[in-house]
Amino acid sequence: MILMTIEKKIRELYQVNPKTRILVEKIHEKAKLLEEEGYDNIRIMNFCGTHEWTITHYGIRTLMPENIELIAGPGCPVCITPGHYVDILTDLSFDEYTVLSYGDSYKLPGTRIKGIRSLFDARLHGGKTEIVYSFYDAVKKAINNKDKKYVFFAVGFETTMPSTAVPLVNNMVPENLYILSAYRLTPPIMKYLLEKHPEARLSGILAPGHVSAIIGANSWLFLPRDYGVPTVVAGFEPLDVLVAVYYILDMLLSKKPSLINEYTRVVKPEGNIYAKEMIKRAYKIIDSYWRGIGIVPSSGAIHREEYNNRDILHILGIEDKPMKDVLPGCRCPEVTLGLAKPTDCPLFLKACTPSNPYGPCMVSSEGTCKIWAENLPIRIK
């Protein structure tokens, strides 16, 4: 049954685009040549949770030669959002504030093991928490309910930062709407990973397509230049991923690591100039804590002084002080850094499931544990 499911997916993949089969054969040819040169374990990290979904859903790992390992990276913003932010917001939801959150952060656990662990739990216990689809929805809600106070949980990477930056800069955020900025930046975590965790042994990197549409493909030039790691900015179709793997193998073989932008239909070298300018005007870059990982230099964003009147931590004088937020038994930080697989966690699909997530990597559709849990038969190699 399991094999039939894998075969069905791969058959679909080949039917959608017959070139896929040719590409897979070429990947095998390159991998064989690399094996002859001593590359017996080529570890290619896909930064982005959406790449992980494509790889896992379509069974792309099953198509890879033995000496190629595709590993998931830190590209799930919900997974790395500090737990103490959730604690702060759940507490505020029992006070005079209504907390507004994207759906994928709604079940994110805070640091508490028992009781009210998430915004979802808070709602069940009478806290005022709601899901919104965008910051624009939050703005509309605040405008329509002037007698209430709202806090928006701003979780995300550079892709989502413009959604609050543009209204802030244009003075469009109503006075009864505040923001908790949990924004994190992507290039600094890859720099951190390569420097602090050489045991990850990255041979190549698939850089994120969505993020790069904002920050630009050139933001990843430092990976081949400073660390000698072949890097490809890739789109999210199965063929995009396979082309990116092929390019990485080609660069390894030629011993010429560089940056290739495979996703030119969306990503420009310089990115989105307007969005970058808005982010720069609204936010100040600071060293920031990543859940279970530590302080990563220049990886977070807080509001510039002129927007402090919209910053809930500033308004209430709450210190942004990380607390121990790795839940007992959860291996999410290692999963996030490519040092463990979800199946290495004893809680995977036992105490931690998509419908009842215990750890942060099981919450969002970009979380590696959730992706593996929902595509279980497909991921078996």
Smallest separation (angstroms) from ligand SF4 to the CB of 372:
8
Among 342, 364, 366, 375, binds ligand SF4 (CB under 6 A): 342
Q: In this structure, what token pair is assigned to residue 338? A: 């490519």
Per CB under 6 A, 358 contacts ligand SF4: yes
Smallest separation (angstroms) from ligand SF4 to the CB of 299:
21
Per CB under 6 A, 359 contacts ligand SF4: yes
Among 348, 364, 371, 378, binds ligand SF4 (CB under 6 A): 348
**Part of the chain binding ligand SF4 (CB under 6 A), chosen from 84-92, 102-110, 286-294, 358-366:** 358-366
CB-nearest residue to ligand SF4: 359
Q: ∠ at Cα 275 (271, 280), nearest 5°? A: 105
Nearer to ligand SF4, 242 or 371 (CB): 371
Neighbour-count burial of 277, counting CB atoms closer than 10 A to its CB (0-12 exposed, 13-18 middle, 19+ buried): middle
The alpha helices in the chain, defined as continuous H runs, are 2-16, 19-36, 49-57, 60-63, 77-80, 83-93, 119-124, 135-144, 161-169, 186-196, 209-215, 222-227, 238-254, 273-282, 312-316, 332-336, 368-374
Nearer to ligand SF4, 182 or 243 (CB): 182
Per CB under 6 A, 82 contacts ligand SF4: no
Q: How many CB atoms lie within 10 A of CB 346?
A: 11
Among 89, 242, 313, 352, binds ligand SF4 (CB under 6 A): 352
Instruction: Decide if 364 contacts 50 (C-beta within 8 A).
Output: no
Smallest separation (angstroms) from ligand SF4 to the CB of 291:
11
| x-marked contacts with ligand SF4 along 315-334 as a string, rule CB under 6 A | ---------------xxx--
Smallest separation (angstroms) from ligand SF4 to the CB of 323:
17
Which 3 state secondary structure label does DSSP give 302? strand
Per CB under 6 A, 347 contacts ligand SF4: yes
| x-marked contacts with ligand SF4 along 360-379 as a string, rule CB under 6 A | -xx------x----------
Give the β-pairing of 283-290 and 294-303. antiparallel
d(CA 250, CA 254): 6
- Residues in 236-255 at the binding interface with ligand SF4, rule: CB under 6 A: none
Determine phi and psi for 36, rounding to 5 degrees.
-65, -25
Helix axis angle, 273-282 to 161-169, nearest 10°: 70
Smallest separation (angstroms) from ligand SF4 to the CB of 241:
23
Q: In this structure, what token pair is assigned to residue 302? A: 């807080």
- Which residues sit at the interface with ligand SF4, rule CB under 6 A? 330-332, 335, 342, 345, 347-348, 352, 358-359, 361-362, 369
